[in-house]
Each structure stands twice: as C-alpha cells, then as structure tokens.
Amino acid sequence: MPDVDATVSGKTTDCLADDASKKVWRVQDGALVTVPGTPGGVLTTGMEFGDGDIRVRYEVRGVGYGEFNARYSPLGYVQASMDRPQMEAKKGVQEFIFHCRGDDITATLNGQLWPLNGKPKSGKGRLRFCFNGGTLRVVSIDYRDLAPERLEVGQKDKDGWTCIFNGRDLTGWTTVGAAPKVEEGAIAFVSSRGISRSVAMPDFEAKGSLLLRSADAAGYFGSIAVRQPDLQHPGESYFGFYRDGTMRLFGTAQGTVVSSGSKVAIGTWQRFLLRVVGDTASLDVEGANVFRVKLSRLEGGPLFLHTYGMDGRAIAFKDLWLRELGPDGKPLGAAPKP
C-alpha cells in the first residue's frame, strides 16, 4: 500500500481522539498496546478519513470479540465484526483494510473480502475499533487519500445516474440573475440567485448534498423547485429551507411537511434524494422523508436551485446527479445486475 500517511507514529498516543482512549492504550516497542489489566478496550482516532484506503496492521492474543468501524460518528458508521477464531485465523501480524469510495465501502482481512454492516451518515469519519478479553497490539494505522474523480457533465455511472454538476463550473445550467460561485467543488449562492437545469423527462430522481450555513437573521436559506413551466415562473413545488433549519412547502401544489417539526442540521453537509413520479414529489434528507406533495403539472420541467436576498452565503449544493425513472418509479438506463 504505497503513498500512505502513517497515523500511528509508534512514539506517542497523539493519534487517539480523547483522553479516555489514551488511558487504555500506551506505546510499547513501537506499537500501541492496551494497558495491563484492561479487559479489552476501544481505540478511536483523532483523524477523520474520507475517500481512500485505511489499513490497520495488528496482532491479537486471546481476544474474544473484535470490531472495526469506519466513518465513525455518533450518527452512524460501517461495522466489521469478528469472533475469536476469526480474529486469530492467522498467526503474527494481520492486515485489515477499509476501501472507501463515496457511499461504496468494502473491506478485506488478509486479502479476503470481509462482510460489513451499518451505514455512515457522512463522507468522512474516524476509525474506531474495540475488543474484549485478551490483548491487542496495533502495529500501524496507515491511510492513502484518493484524489477526487474528475467528473464531466453527462457522465453516467453503472446505476444509470447522470452527472449534472462537475464541481468546477456551471456547465449545463442556466442562471437566473447573477451566477452563483463555484467554491471548493460546490455551488455557493450569495444574495438572490438561482440556477435551472432542463429536465425533459416527467419522472426522475435527483441526489446530491446540501449545506445550510449558519446565520442569525430570519428568513429563507433557499429551496429546490420542480416542474417549472419556464424560468420566469415559480415552480409548482418549492421545498423551502429556513435559516433556523425548519422546512416549509411553497408553490401551487398541495402537500405536507412530513417531518413533524424536525429540522435540517445547520453547518454540515447532508445528503438528499428528490423523487418526482407521476403526480407525487418527495424529498428525503439523510434518509428521512421531510416532504411529500401532490402535483397537478405532469409535464417535465426545469429543476431549479435558488436562494432569496440575504447577506452572506446561504445555501450550497454539490455532488449532483440525475436519473430517469419509469412510470412505475423504477430507474431506467441502469446496467443489468449479474
């Protein structure tokens, strides 16, 4: 695994996230080991890992149960579990690797594919592992960061998703008012601005990430609109986000806010999924449905992202993809599964 950054120096416990972890672990002979008399332990790194490969090289003795977590946060993580025979399947130093590519995370133990459970809530997170009984010696933790893939508008993936934002400019989008900025791979809105992209198909789903920036003033952050007749008229459904994180529905469509008073988090990137099928449009944020509405306009129309007049940056979008759906709501154009 060349071109890696070592997060365990073999000299200090500075790589650990907190004092609680440092009380359980110490450095001995260039490796992290548990303090004698500790019946197991938890190790959480201070560093957060994004897309890349995370390799843990370790030795065990008498461990009853072990667990590795990637993209760890209190909201969720990916988990690899092992019982004692699996932990001790190989004598000497063993190698466990997480391969993280966006939402696609796989793992190997000594070169063999290893099953995973759970789902992370973020594109970055800490590495954590825990065990009970016996002793665990962590020889090294290494990380190989991956350069982000250079995307092109119109590029398709194996699941039928089409890239509609390349992270560099507004190719394929029409601006309404002054154009927003593209900053750090995201569309960043300032003041009253909007962008629209033609969506000819009536049924589709769009996914991406949105960021609501912290602000003190009342009013809108911005919104997502669907099935506009044209750029000069409001969309039939505006999924609106307020500065305090509350969500409201605007436009001519009839519908409800499903979230029952819950709020969208402020100041952190969150994944969303917008689905428009027949006379129904819905919006999920971080896997939870927040809007569901009935539409009267059934023709295709632009997908519109915008914000209202406010001081400072209000809302940002990135990682935007679009996929056509059939009348039954199933994706069209995806590669057949083997």
**Closest by CA position to 120, among listed 70, 51, 49:** 70
More confident residue, 80 or 3: 80
Residue 334 has pLDDT above 80, yes or no: no
Percent of the chain beyond pLDDT 90? 19
**Closest by CA position to 101, among listed 56, 155, 153, 49:** 49
Among 130-144, 168-182, 223-237, the minimum mean pLDDT is found in 223-237
Structure tokens at 240: 């609106």
Q: What pTM was estimated for this model as a whole?
A: 0.60
Residue 276 belongs to what H/E stretch?
A: strand 270-277
pLDDT tens-place string over residues 48-77: 888 899 999 988 887 778 899 999 988 789
Among 196-205, 256-265, 308-317, the minimum mean pLDDT is found in 256-265
Structure tokens at 311: 């001081």
**Closest by CA position to 282, among listed 196, 174, 203:** 203
- Are 31 and 39 in contact by the 8 Å Cβ rule? The answer is no
Locus of tokens 């099928």: 277
Quick one: pLDDT at residue 144?
Answer: 87
Cα(30)–Cα(139) distance, integer angstroms: 7
**Closest by CA position to 129, among listed 272, 32, 234:** 32
47's CB contacts (< 8 A; 6+ apart) are 7, 15, 126, 127, 143
Distance of CA 230 to the CA centre of its chain: 32
| Amino acid in the structure at residue 13 | T
User: If you average pLDDT over residues 12-20, what whole number do you get?
Assistant: 76
- Are 293 and 224 in contact by the 8 Å Cβ rule? The answer is no
Quick one: pLDDT at residue 2?
Answer: 40
Cα(244)–Cα(128) distance, integer angstroms: 33
Quick one: pLDDT at residue 166?
Answer: 93
Tell me the average pLDDT of the chain. Answer: 78
Cα(58)–Cα(141) distance, integer angstroms: 9
- Are 271 and 206 in contact by the 8 Å Cβ rule? The answer is no
User: Dihedral, CA atoms, 279, 284, 289, 294, nearest 10 degrees?
Assistant: -10
Domains and CATH numbers, the chain: 5-145 (2.60.120.560), 162-324 (2.60.120.560)
Buried b (16+ CB within 10 A) or exposed e, 259-288: beeeebebeebbbbebbbbeeebbbbbbee
